[in-house]
Amino acid sequence: MWLQHPSFKECFSSWWREFEGNGWEGHKFMRKLQFVKAKLKDWNKNSFGMLKERKKTILDEIANIDVIEQEGVLSSDLSIQRIDRDCNSKLFHKVANGRRNRNFIKFLENERGLVLDNSESITEEILLYFKKLYLSPLGESWRVEDRDKASGPDGFTIAVFQNCWDVIKDDLVRVIAKVLSGRLRGVLHETIHFTQGAFVQGRQILDAVLIANEIVDEKRRSGEEGVKGFSSKWRIWMRGCLSSVSYAILVNGNAKGWVKASKGLRQGDPLSPFLFTIVADVLSRMLLKAKERSLLEGFRVGRNRCRVSHLQFADDTILFANSCAEELQTLKSLLLVFGQVFRLKVNLDKSNLMGINLDQNHLSRLALLLDCKASVWPILYLGLPLGGNPTTCGFWDPVIERISRRLDGWQKAYLSFGGRITLVQSCLSHIPSYFLSLFKISASMAAKVERMQRDFLWSGVGEGKRDHLVSWDAVCKPRVKGGLGFGKIPLRNRALLRKWLWRFPRKSTALWHQVILSIYEAHPNGDGERIRFWEDLWWGDQIFKDQYPRLFRVVMDKNIPISSILGFARPFSWNFNFRRNVSDSKIEDLECLMRSLDCMHLSTSASDVRSWSLLSSGLFTIKSFFTTLSQMSDSFPFFPTKFVWKSHVPFKVKAFVWLVAHKKVNTNDLLQLRRPHKALSPDICKLCMEQGESADHLFLHCSMLLGLWHRLFQLAKMDWVPPRNISDMMFINYKGFGKSKKGLVLWQNACIALIWVV
């Protein structure tokens, strides 16, 4: 009955698009169905009335008519009042406002060589081209018999879904794609070779850059030349997601027509990166097969002669091969075969051939063989230099150029001091982070980057030189210590590099771990032998070496592991291996040590793992380490952090109050110190013309301001004594407008308003 109503589909579409929610696509889809179901109940009442009551009324009328007919008294003027159908629906049209494409197509040459200059013919030709590009034979549309059978748990029959398929299909396909991508993500690391680093859980972009740099550096020092198992049902689902896509083509900024795409990967689809990774893995398998048959040698690095022939990150591939022409010809043939089979051809314009310890003329001949360009070191690989020297200034030029370009983009913008703080913290401080995650920055380059940040913070861009009111060391401290939380570049570099030390023992099967192990001969970690009893922090808050120094002095093996001292079962079997019998003076220390270990248990089924003590989760984070490093240095003993940064005022006001708390506002006393050759009358306040102008006087003790402070306390019905300085005023927790949160916020904002208006 609903499907036959003329406004049903329009109302269904309107309500479906009206719902907005967050979360997983499957939950959103079910909540949409529930939302539409509730709307349909109201619509049903308005359109068809109360069906049960209406049915009862009609049945009663029929019964009365039967009685009258039987009695032979049928009134000619009897009429049955019909209930009007009132369809009360809303339709909300959402129009996405985007920027128009300024590239207007005036002329277009088609495949037959004809030049089209008419808008309609251009549009038709573009649509025809994309239809040919994406079209492939499709199966019949899905059909289900008995469309009006009992509804499912969601309350809708198959007939509703079929009738409103054009409304719900995008959401339903999105749910299926999310489910498939989630399942695929969980098994991708088992099927994709470890040379591919993109879109696979546990692998990072920096892994490939690290491996490539280590291979190139090791080769330079040496002086040498240089099927997945998915079921058929799974494949059908995947094919359905790919073959049910429609594109609207933008022609001169306007969407024209719809193109049904039944092949290819669409941008933004959650399945696209995983499917592309699977396809790219075929190239990796082809290269590995060639290596197994000794057609490709690759590079052997380190003392363990670890072989690496290629690295992949999505569509970026770096190949390692010997300089012989036969091996390069084999490599070229493999790339051509892969391109012909999968229609993923190598872009020769973006391909470069680099040689390690190789003559330039020989390199040029090899590049001619591969139809690519010969290049020199260093190059950019995944955005980072490959084959460069981090200790040189030129190595960091890309970072300096990026910061300079960003500063040039802000040159004409009007930025307050608070706005510049935000840009330094959110942008300039993070531009070098990608480089700092892999390379150690020199002191001179760190100082140069910080100088650019410092000059922009205090002078802006193109505004001339200004005074740096607060020292850079104080600015870089955390906010709780009186700074702005920028952090020093060397400390940020140190925190980012420590991530590798955390990951190394936890990623023992990763390719980058094997390469580092082969080159630097790191010792593998074994079960129960990884933690030293005396010299590692594994129990309590202090290592036993420092906690019990007298016992440590008589230990024979100071590097003994835990498993050699403590047994796995209770009671523990002790084997401290002292050089001599423990004296009476050390008995107390030994008893204390044994009591502390009494509640500890060793497990034979679990391997030793590292735990990060700075977080309760036990997992390392760069933020926690960086914060700890920043707080280790000397800082201001007291700073009103909550008053400055927890207030409900604009950020530029907070920035000004921060300067006031540091007493670094340009008052006459500070200006006279910075410019002693100028007569600025530091002993006279410009407001009261009495005492000297300082931060404490200007914002608290000046007779004009003191009257305002008195007035504020009178409004709060409080008696007060002016504190010694403005910093104490920020520390004192006045409860002028009550003890509630709103009252405290109101009082805090009132105090900041007085400081701001000066």
Share above pLDDT 90 across residues of the chain, in percent, rounded to a whole number: 6
Instruction: Name which of 531, 550, 642, 622 is nearest 591 in CA terms.
Output: 550
Residue 436 has pLDDT above 90, yes or no: yes
Lowest mean pLDDT among 57-61, 212-216, 485-489, 696-700: 212-216
Most confident of 387-391, 501-505, 555-559: 387-391
Most confident of 30-39, 252-261, 373-382, 613-622: 373-382
- What confidence score (pLDDT) does residue 566 get? 65
pLDDT bucket at 97, cuts 50 / 70 / 90: very low
- What confidence score (pLDDT) does residue 448 get? 94
Is the distance from CB of 271 to CB of 297 less than 8 angstroms? no
| 54-62: average pLDDT | 76
pLDDT bucket at 85, cuts 50 / 70 / 90: very low
* 199 φ/ψ sector (left φ>0, alpha ψ -120 to 50, else beta): left
Lowest mean pLDDT among 92-96, 567-571, 672-676: 92-96
- What confidence score (pLDDT) does residue 229 get? 64
Q: Give the residue, 71 or 116, on which the prediction is more confident.
A: 116
Q: Give the residue, 74 or 569, on which the prediction is more confident.
A: 569
- What confidence score (pLDDT) does residue 447 get? 94
Nearest-angstrom CA–CA distance, 664 and 474: 12
Instruction: Name which of 756, 753, 726 is nearest 638 in CA terms.
Output: 726
Lowest mean pLDDT among 290-299, 456-465, 553-562: 456-465
Most confident of 444-458, 551-565, 716-730: 444-458
Compute the Cα dihedral for 279, 283, 285, 286 and give only its sign. positive
- What confidence score (pLDDT) does residue 441 get? 94
pLDDT bucket at 347, cuts 50 / 70 / 90: confident
pLDDT bucket at 628, cuts 50 / 70 / 90: confident
Number of neighbouring beta carbons within 10 Å of residue 407: 19
β strands within 263-417, DSSP E: 299-301, 306-308, 310-313, 316-319, 352-353, 373-374, 379-381, 384-386
Is the distance from CB of 444 to CB of 395 less than 8 angstroms? no
Is the distance from CB of 83 to CB of 54 less than 8 angstroms? yes
- What confidence score (pLDDT) does residue 142 get? 45
pLDDT tens digits, 214-243: 767 766 676 655 455 667 777 777 777 766
DSSP 526-580: -TT-SSBTTTS--SSSS-HHHHSHHHHHTBS-TT-BGGGTS-SSSSPPP---BSS
| 114-135: average pLDDT | 76
Instruction: Name which of 604, 626, 625, 623 is nearest 613 in CA terms.
Output: 625
* Beta-carbon-side half-sphere exposure of residue 329 (alpha carbons within 13 Å): 4
Average pLDDT taken over every residue of the chain: 75
pLDDT bucket at 489, cuts 50 / 70 / 90: very high
SS3 246: strand
| 474-486: average pLDDT | 89
- What confidence score (pLDDT) does residue 657 get? 92
Q: Give the residue, 411 or 623, on which the prediction is more confident.
A: 623
- Dihedral Cα 507, 511, 512, 517, nearest 10 deg: 80
Nearest-angstrom CA–CA distance, 205 and 360: 31
Residue 198 has pLDDT above 70, yes or no: no
Q: Give the residue, 267 or 646, on which the prediction is more confident.
A: 646
pLDDT bucket at 151, cuts 50 / 70 / 90: low
- What confidence score (pLDDT) does residue 571 get? 54
Is the distance from CB of 699 to CB of 692 less than 8 angstroms? no
Is the distance from CB of 230 to CB of 183 less than 8 angstroms? no
- What confidence score (pLDDT) does residue 83 get? 34
pLDDT bucket at 605, cuts 50 / 70 / 90: low
* 580 φ/ψ sector (left φ>0, alpha ψ -120 to 50, else beta): beta
Residue 444 has pLDDT above 90, yes or no: yes
Nearest-angstrom CA–CA distance, 186 and 455: 48
Nearest-angstrom CA–CA distance, 688 and 692: 10
pLDDT bucket at 443, cuts 50 / 70 / 90: very high
pLDDT tens digits, 498-524: 888 888 877 777 887 788 877 775 443
Is the distance from CB of 545 to CB of 593 less than 8 angstroms? no
pLDDT bucket at 446, cuts 50 / 70 / 90: very high
Instruction: Name which of 530, 535, 538 is nearest 506 in CA terms.
Output: 530
| 564-592: average pLDDT | 70
Lowest mean pLDDT among 315-324, 622-631, 698-707, 742-751: 622-631
pLDDT tens digits, 630-669: 776 555 567 888 888 888 888 889 999 999 999 888 888 8
In the block, which residue shows the tokens 């502390």? Answer: 596
pLDDT bucket at 84, cuts 50 / 70 / 90: very low
Residue 752 has pLDDT above 50, yes or no: yes
Is the distance from CB of 380 to CB of 394 less than 8 angstroms? no
Residue 138 has pLDDT above 60, yes or no: no
